[in-house]
Structure 1
Amino acid sequence: MSPLRQLLRTKPVDLITDESAHTPLRRSLGLLPLVSLSVGATLGTGIFVVLGQAAPVAGPAVTVSFAVAALAALFSALSYAELAGAVPLSGSAYSYTYATLGELVAWVCGWCLLLEYGVSVAAVAVGWSGYLNAFLDATLGFQVPAALSGDVVDLPAAVVVLLATAVLLGGVKESAAVTTVTTVLKVAVLAFFVVVAVFGFRSGNLAPFAPAGVAGVTGAASLVFFSFIGFDAASTAGEEARNPQRDLPRAIVISLAVVTVVYVLVAFTAVGAVGVDALAGSDASLATVLQRVTGAGWPATVLSAGAVIAIASVVLTVLYGQTRVLVAMARDGLVPKVFARVGAKRVPTVNTVLVGVLVAVLAALVPLGQLAEATSIGTLVAFSLVNVGVLVLRRTRPDLPRGFRTPWVPVVPLLGLGLCVLLVAGLAPATWLAFGVWSAAGLVVYFGYGRRRSELARHSAQGE
């Protein structure tokens, strides 16, 4: 086999199906835990902070911006839904691209996912530390000393990562139960916000509705798009779902619908209650709304508690996703096999501990800054490859059973791909630089380790 063909060799879908059928992981997740996993990974820091940034760009039409961003995410979500049902394996977009676009592209995709999950978990943990301090100050009049909450080391950030690691080590069924409870709680807190904010609603706060026109609406949509990242989390549970062909596609689409409804309702009631200017002048925009509407501090405290719960659950669900991507890559031989080793509770014990400790250290010691923005580019690259993967698999395996079929192919995948490319092109130069460094490091690892130890290469050599 020529070097080029080696790099582009695809993993047979029949082999993937066999691995899924004989997985050492525990199949214990039904539809509700899968939906909770995706909603839990998506509904986090975004809605608590991004509204105050996007409202000045679009004006009251920021509600429409959330709907536009959801539509952009929907195209990729439909492609994810088809591949999740057709290739029900841990690894999400990595596994899908291995089956459709070849080993090198799959490696790039998996490497992007590791960037997305790993750095974003650390960044979210740092954000959780700030919300925790705000909550402690409001309720107990106490804060973690500055030296231990970011100035020297961020101890709360490390602690929340290690707590999430401990929950994951308890087993996937137990982790799913925690995720479901925390997801329900944070949806309830945001529903509480909507109910309270409605009492302060004034139609005059919605005029003029779109002062910056279409440009403002689309500009704000680009800002809020990243609040939808995470709907693909259920696809990392392909080997732990009881009925992956049926439930994974449903979980992806349902979770995106739930998040969209919550975002639009929160944005609409917030703007209607206090107006754009009040939102733009506050870092804690939702808490500001409740304080202005009620004139009391306790509703904002309830919201702060919800933010602490929301962000902690994001740490748990995204950390879970990263460990499962590593399981798939390790099983394929592209990273050390230790990451695929399953312990007594049928979870990847060594993998979870190593990832948890590494991310905890990152969260505690590294000022992430613009590096965290690189998670966006990693996500969009993965989304792009999934959209292409649907087109390829429709052509190469039209006979493959699919639990869900993306409608209007090739229009929907092409629209998803185009929107991803458009958003990637608009990212800052510093983000591209960080991504370039990460990608170069990934290629060194692949050509120095993964390419020579690839299980697919071994099978191909035995076949020859």
Structure 2
Amino acid sequence: MIFGRVKPLDAILATAEKKSLHRTLGWFQLMLFGIGCVIGTGIFVLTAAGAQKAGPGLMLAFAIAGAVCIIAALCYAEIASMIPVAGSAYTYSYASVGELLAWTVGWALIMEYAIAAAAVSVGWSGYFSGTFLNEILGVQLPAWLAAGPLVLGGAPGGLINLPALIIALLVTGLLIVGTSESAKVNAVLVLVKVTALTAFIALTFTSPDFDASHFNPFLPAGVFGGFGSGLGAVGAAATIFFAYVGFDAVSTAAEETKNPQRNVPIGLVGSLLFCTLFYILVAAGAIGTIGGQPIMGPNGVPFPTGSEELARQCATYAADQLPLVCSNEALAHVLRQIGWSSIGNLLGIAAFLALPSVILVLIYGQTRIFFVMARDGLLPESLSRVHPKFKTPHIVTMLTGGAVALGAAFFPVGKLADISNAGTLYAFTMVAVALLVLRRRDPSRRRAFRVPAAWLIAPLTIAGCVFLFLNLPYEAMLFLPGWGLLGIVIYFAYSRSRSHLGRGIVEVVDDVAGEQTMVPIEPPAG
């Protein structure tokens, strides 16, 4: 049977114990890990794009995306406390709905994390070139070195995005050195980022430019922009959902967490609540001071973000009158507009310093998915080798970092966020399905955290994810099944015949201890 290969939970936990990653992370580091990824892209990079889709309704969009993520986080928290191993939604699906669907989840997560990391690298490049080089040092980076040529649906680009390429490679090197060292750097970057955004909130809410009339009309494009349009408050929520993927990466760290049954749920839910509140406050401060109305087309519908039409409209404004929706450094731009140029530049520097923490968590999460899939035999097992000195999966980290660097060098940030979201929403949906299956199939297994009203929360998670997926632009919705079809071909051509579970064994090779253990299990049907 195609759907008959369900990996026993006892085998998953035994495998992780035989070949495990070093446990160094506590609940506070996990919260910082989540905050490090969640607070970043959506505020520093996607605020302008979200405002162009929803206007002041961007605040509602953050609330919608945050609500979907919080209920999904509850599902993650229960399963992560029950199965405290690396692999996230992939491992949870393997233990509930079987190998084929688990493969599709892992394949989607590989795409999600890699594209997201490339997109954030491009966003970082904008702050590096605009604030650090141009505003601070007075150096103008040549256009052909500041953007890639493959601008999807927008104006012509350059030749290569050199800063994005370099930052992706630097973060990859840090991750190879070690998780503990990476977490310490991440903690410093989170402090910089939260301090900068707190200052932004204080300055904008107390500014004489803050005017309630800027919020009217609150929903210029409506709540629903239309199926496949990506517009309106829900369309904006589907886009800025990209900024919430960090909490999912927290669950991938379960195997490197001390007392994961207690610390993983705290890290998941705590980081989400903190970040959602910050998102809404920062959006309110930005819109309240300089406004955030979208630039409308002749038919009364906002121009698409990243389009040539929007770029032409933005080019008609003087630099000191540029609307929020036209800025590549939205928050620094807001502070400059209200007379805080020096602090605006400092905030731009904060983004320049802090966004690498987002790239770090995304590449980290992607490599851990690769690591576990290789450990299960679904990908070449050489990918699961652990470095004898650094205790990190160095081979897969180098491969991932190289792919992210190439994507960042040649592609833009705009459409990539929506494409990444498609994979994320699929993974979240499957986690909710896994929760329901495990509640029924294995009700007596210890759960340090239990979702209250699971038979309500899990279906709400599924409905919320499907709802946001259907409000993505058409091209993002179509990319996921295309990527999934490629994954299915690889699964039946390579992975299915090499699966440890399919061969009736769980083979554990400990590269550090030099031990090999064959754990026999009952071969599944099919």
TM-score, normalised on structure 2? 0.82
Q: Which runs of structure 2 are paired with 1:327-366 in the superposition (5 Å)?
A: 327-344=371-388, 345-366=390-411
**Equivalent position to 1:182, from 179, 189, 203:** 189
Alpha-carbon shift at residue 252 of structure 1 (Å): 0.5
Alpha-carbon shift at residue 224 of structure 1 (Å): 3.2
1:202 counterpart residue number: 211
**Equivalent position to 2:134, from 129, 137, 156:** 137
Structure 1 residues 463 and 223, CA, compared in 2 at 3 Å: closer, same or farther? Answer: closer
Q: Which runs of structure 2 are paired with 1:261-276 in the superposition (5 Å)?
A: 261-276=277-292
Q: State the alpha-carbon separation in 2 of the partners of residues 260 and 117 from structure 1.
A: 21
**Equivalent position to 2:437, from 372, 381, 392:** 392
1:88 aligns with 2:84: yes
1:26 counterpart residue number: 22
- Contiguous gaps of at least 5 residues in structure 1: none
1:375 counterpart residue number: 420
Residues 192-251 of structure 1, C-alpha deviations (whole Å, 9 max, x = no match): 111111221334434555566655544543443333222211111111001111111110
Q: Which runs of structure 2 are paired with 1:150-299 in the superposition (5 Å)?
A: 150=147, 151-200=158-207, 201-207=210-216, 209=218, 215=224, 217-277=233-293, 278-293=323-338, 295-299=339-343
Q: State the alpha-carbon separation in 2 of the partners of residues 445 and 123 from structure 1.
A: 26
Structure 1 residues 292 and 148, CA, compared in 2 at 3 Å: closer, same or farther? Answer: closer
Structure 1 residues 80 and 156, CA, compared in 2 at 3 Å: closer, same or farther? Answer: same
Q: State the alpha-carbon separation in 2 of the partners of residues 462 and 87 from structure 1.
A: 18
Structure 1 residues 286 and 444, CA, compared in 2 at 3 Å: closer, same or farther? Answer: same
Q: State the alpha-carbon separation in 2 of the partners of residues 194 and 443 from structure 1.
A: 47
Structure 1 residues 221 and 86, CA, compared in 2 at 3 Å: closer, same or farther? Answer: same
- Contiguous gaps of at least 5 residues in structure 2: 148-157, 225-231, 294-322, 506-519
Residues 106-147 of structure 1, C-alpha deviations (whole Å, 9 max, x = no match): 000000000001122122212222221012100011133333
8 Å CA contact 1:330, 1:339 repeated in 2: yes
Residues 344-374 of structure 1, C-alpha deviations (whole Å, 9 max, x = no match): 2211111212222232233224567645532
Q: State the alpha-carbon separation in 2 of the partners of residues 462 and 284 from structure 1.
A: 55
Alpha-carbon shift at residue 59 of structure 1 (Å): 4.6
Q: State the alpha-carbon separation in 1 of the partners of residues 335 and 195 from structure 2.
A: 15
Stretch deviating more after TM superposition (165-174 or 47-56):
47-56
Q: State the alpha-carbon separation in 1 of the partners of residues 13 and 181 from structure 2.
A: 26
SS state at 2:503 partner: helix
Count the aligned residue pairs: 459
1:448 aligns with 2:464: no
1:320 counterpart residue number: 364
SS state at 1:410 partner: helix
Stretch deviating more after TM superposition (366-375 or 136-145):
366-375
Structure 1 residues 355 and 206, CA, compared in 2 at 3 Å: closer, same or farther? Answer: closer
Q: Which amino acid aligns with 2:254?
A: G
TM-score, normalised on structure 1? 0.93
8 Å CA contact 1:45, 1:307 repeated in 2: no
Q: Which amino acid aligns with 2:352?
A: V
Stretch deviating more after TM superposition (267-276 or 375-384):
267-276
Residues 141-197 of structure 1, C-alpha deviations (whole Å, 9 max, x = no match): 113333333222222112111111111111111011011111121111111111111
Structure 1 residues 220 and 439, CA, compared in 2 at 3 Å: closer, same or farther? Answer: closer
Structure 1 residues 157 and 207, CA, compared in 2 at 3 Å: closer, same or farther? Answer: closer
Stretch deviating more after TM superposition (410-419 or 261-270):
261-270
1:309 counterpart residue number: 353
8 Å CA contact 1:117, 1:319 repeated in 2: yes
Q: State the alpha-carbon separation in 2 of the partners of residues 367 and 60 from structure 1.
A: 25
1:48 counterpart residue number: 44
2:508 counterpart residue number: none
Q: State the alpha-carbon separation in 1 of the partners of residues 212 and 418 from structure 2.
A: 36
**Equivalent position to 2:74, from 58, 68, 78:** 78
SS state at 2:501 partner: helix
8 Å CA contact 1:52, 1:282 repeated in 2: yes
How much is the aligned-residue C-alpha RMSD, in angstroms?
2.2
Q: Which amino acid aligns with 2:399?
A: L
Structure 1 residues 273 and 429, CA, compared in 2 at 3 Å: closer, same or farther? Answer: closer
Q: State the alpha-carbon separation in 2 of the partners of residues 439 and 213 from structure 1.
A: 32
Structure 1 residues 462 and 86, CA, compared in 2 at 3 Å: closer, same or farther? Answer: closer
Stretch deviating more after TM superposition (48-57 or 384-393):
48-57
Q: State the alpha-carbon separation in 2 of the partners of residues 56 and 231 from structure 1.
A: 26
1:437 counterpart residue number: 482
Structure 1 residues 432 and 70, CA, compared in 2 at 3 Å: closer, same or farther? Answer: closer
SS state at 2:386 partner: coil
Q: State the alpha-carbon separation in 1 of the partners of residues 159 and 56 from structure 2.
A: 40
Residues 34-71 of structure 1, C-alpha deviations (whole Å, 9 max, x = no match): 11111112222211243333346555443233222211
SS state at 1:259 partner: helix
Q: State the alpha-carbon separation in 1 of the partners of residues 12 and 55 from structure 2.
A: 48
Identity between Structure 1 and Structure 2 (%)? 42
Stretch deviating more after TM superposition (136-145 or 204-213):
204-213
8 Å CA contact 1:91, 1:236 repeated in 2: yes
Q: Which amino acid aligns with 2:28?
A: L
**Equivalent position to 2:464, from 407, 419, 444:** 419
